């Protein structure tokens, strides 16, 4: 089998981490971002240093703001932008996609592949690459500085699914030796509905808004999540699990996911979070304009609540936090977010949606 060539779309901490790891492992990789200044600095440095759980220096073959240059001649396109940018990424990639390529949304969050494919369809794309989504970002990364990334954790298991569902077998066959953590899931409902970021990010952020407004830095997971906040998170998580049951899917609870992903022991959600060393050192958002709020509301809470409403499932906790997020951000997250209309699911029954993702 030929050695795969990669493009990484998005040069945030996760994108830099992925590009560096692939380069360290000997793969040809191109790194793309729309941020001219960030790309200028990365080109000037010429390398990305990883520390923490992965140690090494990776040197991407190409660092660019030209998306055509980034994806031309590559086999796998790893999209590691904020998930609310997926629709724009689909439009930008569309003219250059090839049937033989593979696009992996890292992660897809709730409805990533559905939205991506719907955008391609609406724009009359002629290419039909394989499109997959992971449940979460494989590597927990944070930026010390541009080109210097700290890897705080590596997931032990990472669910992945495709649309159509059968394509996941080819993805695992092709990428399994590079990413042995990848675990094939039956369809994209499993990856989309098992979106833990929709619970673990917006709720603690909003419930710590006083500290954030006062610019009082704190450890996000260790100090920002108290037993009471963990209880609220579990209530929102129950609503997510109810949506899964409507499809006949037994989803993973947030507590079970944390234990499986990070090899943690039993306990309450609060106790599990406090024992997760991979989360230790993660600082709080410096302002309310942070991806923990806008990304995970737009691509997590909104599609879950929208899908719940479509199926007649009550999601009062999710709705409450979407409303609060909209007020504090002065944005209409219901309008901007991934609704069932944007996912191509409006007016469909449970049976029709299950058929659609098979």
Which residue numbers are catalytic? 201, 296
Would you tell me the crossing angle of helices 316-329 and 302-311 to the nearest 10 degrees?
A: 140
Longest dimension (CA), the chain: 55
Coil, strand or helix at 53: coil
Cα torsion 257, 353, 332, 38: sign: positive
Coil, strand or helix at 187: coil
Q: CA 177, 178, 179, 182: dihedral to nearest 10 degrees?
A: -40
Would you tell me the crossing angle of helices 112-122 and 86-93 to the nearest 10 degrees?
A: 40
Residue 49 pairs in a beta bridge with 57, 148
Identify whether the C-beta of residue 226 lies closer than 8 Å to the C-beta of residue 270. yes
Burial (CB count <10 Å: 0-12, 13-18, 19+), residue 320? middle
Q: Which residue has the tokens 């058929």?
A: 355
Cα(337)–Cα(322) distance, integer angstroms: 10
Cα(152)–Cα(144) distance, integer angstroms: 12
Cα(118)–Cα(96) distance, integer angstroms: 17
CA proximity to 201, closest of 338, 297, 79, 325: 297
Cα(79)–Cα(11) distance, integer angstroms: 10
Identify whether the C-beta of residue 328 lies closer than 8 Å to the C-beta of residue 261. no
**b/e for 29-53, b at 16 or more Cβ within 10 A?**
bbbbbbeeebbeebeeeeebbbebe
Identify whether the C-beta of residue 141 lies closer than 8 Å to the C-beta of residue 150. yes
């Amino acid at each position: 089998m030929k050695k795969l060539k990669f493009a990484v779309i998005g040069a945030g901490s996760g994108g830099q981490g992925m590009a560096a790891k692939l380069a360290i492992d000997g793969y040809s990789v191109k790194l793309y971002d729309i941020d001219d200044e960030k790309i200028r600095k990365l080109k000037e440095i010429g390398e990305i240093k990883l520390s923490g759980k992965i140690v090494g220096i990776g040197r991407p073959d190409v660092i660019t703001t030209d998306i055509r240059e980034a994806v031309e001649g590559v086999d796998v396109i790893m999209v590691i932008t904020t998930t609310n940018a997926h629709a724009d990424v689909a439009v930008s990639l569309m003219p250059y996609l090839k049937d033989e390529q593979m696009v992996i949304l890292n992660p897809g969050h709730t409805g990533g592949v559905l939205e991506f494919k719907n955008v391609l369809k609406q724009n009359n794309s002629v290419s039909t690459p394989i499109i997959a989504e992971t449940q979460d970002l494989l590597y927990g990364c944070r930026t010390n500085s541009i080109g210097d990334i700290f890897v705080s954790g590596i997931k032990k298991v990472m669910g992945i699914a495709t649309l159509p569902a059968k394509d996941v077998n080819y993805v695992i066959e092709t990428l399994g030796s590079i990413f042995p953590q990848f675990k094939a899931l039956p369809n994209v409902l499993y990856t989309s509905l098992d979106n833990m970021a929709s619970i673990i990010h917006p709720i603690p952020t909003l419930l710590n808004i006083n500290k954030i407004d006062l610019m009082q830095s704190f450890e996000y997971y260790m100090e920002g999540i108290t037993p009471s906040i963990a209880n609220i998170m579990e209530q929102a998580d129950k609503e997510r699990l109810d949506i899964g049951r409507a499809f006949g899917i037994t989803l993973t609870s947030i507590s079970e996911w944390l234990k499986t992903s990070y090899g943690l022991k039993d306990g309450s959600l609060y106790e599990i979070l406090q024992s997760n060393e991979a989360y230790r050192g993660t600082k709080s958002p410096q302002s309310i304009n942070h991806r923990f709020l806008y990304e995970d509301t737009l691509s997590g809470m909104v599609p879950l609540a929208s899908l719940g409403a479509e199926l007649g499932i009550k999601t009062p906790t999710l709705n409450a936090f979407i409303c609060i997020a909209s007020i504090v951000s002065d944005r209409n997250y219901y309008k901007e977010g991934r609704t069932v209309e944007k996912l191509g699911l409006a007016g469909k029954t449970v049976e029709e949606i299950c058929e659609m993702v098979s």
